Amino acid sequence: MKFPHPQALEQGNISQLNQLMEEAAVKNYLLNNPDFLRNNAQLLTHIELSHDCEDATSLVERQIKVLRERNQTLQGQLIDMLHAAHNNEKLLIQCNHFMLSLLQNNDLESLCTDIIAMLKQDFSLDDAALILVGDYQSAGPAQIYSNASDIKTLLNCQFPDSQPLCGRLEIAPKKVLFGELSRELQSFALIPLGKRCEFGLLALASNDVSRFEPEMGTLFVELIAKLVTHLTRRYASA
């Protein structure tokens, strides 16, 4: 076995030491001058990094890749926001048409008939139901109860915070609201009229299981419920 010559070993150590000293000097310089690469951008294309960013081998390429991914994310968020804004504008127009049309009614029966028909037509629903609480005469397709507690018992829901409830319904409440032909209905929105259904209930139904979900916004259905409450209460006996 041959051993390296002492002089060669010494020269190797010196060379390695010099390299370490040069690297340390470069590190210190960059730390003390953080804007150096920005002021000498042409050097970035020659700097290689060891990382897992697929085929990116230079700092510039990695920066471009990160910026491109960030831009795609922002574009996706912007598209989602524009889509939501478009849907909200469409809903607002539908609500406006619904409200203006109902103002033309002069009796409770035609009013309740139009409420249900227009909800189904304007908002592409598969069914809708209206329950009124109070002393009313003929209300057409609307159901009339003398006490709000009867509604909550039949639906097995107390509406503790007086907010709309969206999601699935059991078979019994479905039949109470929509009759025997309710088997195809999959998702629902139950909107109390007044505090805890004191004036009634508006129910919306769809064959699409994802149409009404628990986490969905209810601003527009609450707006509709307030209008329906105001219009129907005009026909309640004192």
95 pLDDT band, cuts 50/70/90, is confident
Flag whether the pTM goes above 0.95.
no
Q: β-strands 165-167, 143-145: how paired?
A: unpaired
Mean pLDDT of 185-212: 94
Query: How sure is the predictor about 2, in pLDDT bands with cuts at 50, 70 and 90?
Result: very low
Residue 28's pLDDT is 85
Alpha-carbon dihedral angle through residues 72, 78, 83, 85, given to the nearest 10 degrees: 180
Residue 140's Cβ-side half-sphere holds a number of Cα atoms within 13 Å equal to 16
Q: Of 234, 231, 237, 201, which is closest to residue 103 (Cα–Cα)?
A: 231
Q: Kindly report which listed range (26-40, 156-170, 186-200) carries the lowest average pLDDT score.
A: 26-40
Residue 42 pLDDT level (bands cut at 50, 70, 90): low
Range with the lowest mean pLDDT among 32-36, 57-61, 85-89, 219-223? 57-61
Spans of all domains in the chain: 6-69, 105-233
pLDDT, tens digit, 9 for 90 and up, residues 65-75:
777 888 888 88
Pick the residue with more confidence: 220 or 114? 114
- Highest CATH level, class, for 105-233: alpha beta
